Amino acid sequence: MKFNNQSRKECINMTYQFSTRVPASDEDPVGNILKVAGSPDIISFAGGLPAPELFPVDALKKVTNEVYDESGRQALQYSAAIGDPALRTQIVKRMAKQGVDTTIDNVMISTGSQQSIDLTAKMFINPGDTVIVEKPTYLCALDVFRSYGAHIVGVEMDEDGMKMDDLEKAVAENPNTKFIYTIPNFQNPTGRTMSAERRRRMIQIVDQYDIMILEDDPYGAIRFAGDDIAPIKFYDDQDRVIYLSTFSKILAPGLRLGWIVAEQSLMKKFTLMKQSADVHSDNLTQHIVARFMAEYDIDDHINKIKRVYRKRENVMMTAIEADFPKGVNYSHPEGGLFIWVEVPGNIDTQELFNTCIKHNVAFVPGEPFYPDAVTPGTFRLNFSNMSEEQIKTGIKRLGSAIKETISESVSEVSEN
């Protein structure tokens, strides 16, 4: 079919009738930040990227060839929406190590945790329903909940995670709450971990108010200090917890594989939603990961990740203590990928970011992580993706930029 010039003009002037789920603006603040931070001259602590040098490339290449040789036709064929039984069996074994007894009928493979969040939101949220989240929280989860018309309520945190008294108050004030979304281990963006006592209390609250918990656990396996804490799912005896995890942080994010653990009747709904979304996750990749887990000790691989991340986190914390001005607060993670920073005073985080770019260092400003009112002067640092020398140099630059921004802010106040 050919278009004449008039037809082309009409196409250009077309008004698209988007659904209310599509953002009105094409602006992508976080994407713009990451683009600026991607300059080769800038030391970037902005992305939540695992260290690529730790990806088990050779082992994955070996098992991929074995899959092609032994079951290539099966791996390249359509598959069931719930996922490959061999991979789900391996996940059941992993969950058992965390104290969660389940079966493959309770496990579904997803195309990464992001799809798991989206499917859950699609299943439960009607426009106007309330979702309660930590404040701050994972920015892409907020985007998903907003896209389905959720009323999002943020609950303050401290070093032990979400404050339970504030949570119960939020639930009581929002009787249309569908679920609580939480990242209990090494939270994104704060790096904080919810205590066992608060996990048990959260279960008591949802049992009392008859709501669900969406437990997002992409970082839990990467604990490099302190003692393990059982998942919230461990304390759940009424099947109120939907548990999510992923291979992105413990194997490689490009594989785009995650999993959901939920009660069987709920899993049937998940499978139907998955079927309509993308039929099934990449079947070849599922076979490869299942084979990798059968032939290699994935915990041994995770231990290598932990050793590297622990060193890098220690280097960053030491540098922060030496180079940041007094009064700057920061989290002290025992695992994961992130440190959360709070600069005192009414600091404009975007101005601080711009100053940091001039100093050739970058972070992710805190604003996109807040469901409601933003705390100024907050930002997230990632320690997993830079070398130790880059971390030392970058934090020194960042410290100088913070001091400069604070000084300018004090001068402006004095002038006014």
The per-residue pLDDT for 76 is: 98
Identify the structural domains of the chain with CATH numbers, from first to last. 29-55+300-409 (3.90.1150.10), 57-295 (3.40.640.10)
CA distance 92 to 401: 47
| Residue among 303, 141, 124, 136 at smallest CA distance from 216 | 141
DSSP reduced 3-state for 215: strand
| Residue among 162, 184, 189, 187 at smallest CA distance from 233 | 184
Here the tokens at position 215 are: 């437990």
Here the tokens at position 362 are: 């970058």
The per-residue pLDDT for 19 is: 84
The per-residue pLDDT for 8 is: 58
Split at pLDDT 50, 70, 90, the class of 117 is very high
CA distance 177 to 183: 18
Split at pLDDT 50, 70, 90, the class of 346 is confident
The per-residue pLDDT for 28 is: 74
Tens-place pLDDT, residues 137-181: 999 999 999 999 999 999 999 999 999 999 999 999 999 999 999
1, pLDDT greater than 80: no
395, pLDDT greater than 80: yes
Split at pLDDT 50, 70, 90, the class of 416 is low
Q: Answer with the residue of higher pLDDT: 381 or 4.
A: 381
36, pLDDT greater than 90: no
The per-residue pLDDT for 24 is: 76
The per-residue pLDDT for 47 is: 86
For the residues of 105-116, what is the DSSP string, one character each? Answer: GGEEEESHHHHH
Tens-place pLDDT, residues 182-206: 999 999 999 999 999 999 999 999 9
The per-residue pLDDT for 365 is: 94
Which residues on adjacent β-strands are paired with residue 169? none
Averaged confidence pLDDT in the chain:
93
CA distance 379 to 128: 30
Q: What is the mean pLDDT of residues 7-22?
A: 72
Tens-place pLDDT, residues 233-271: 999 999 999 999 999 999 999 999 999 999 999 999 999
Q: What is the mean pLDDT of residues 381-395?
A: 97
Which residues on adjacent β-strands are paired with residue 189? none
The per-residue pLDDT for 411 is: 57
CA distance 189 to 381: 8
CA distance 241 to 243: 6
Q: What is the mean pLDDT of residues 348-376?
A: 93
Give phi and psi for 235, each to the nearest 5: -90, 0
The per-residue pLDDT for 22 is: 81
14, pLDDT greater than 70: yes
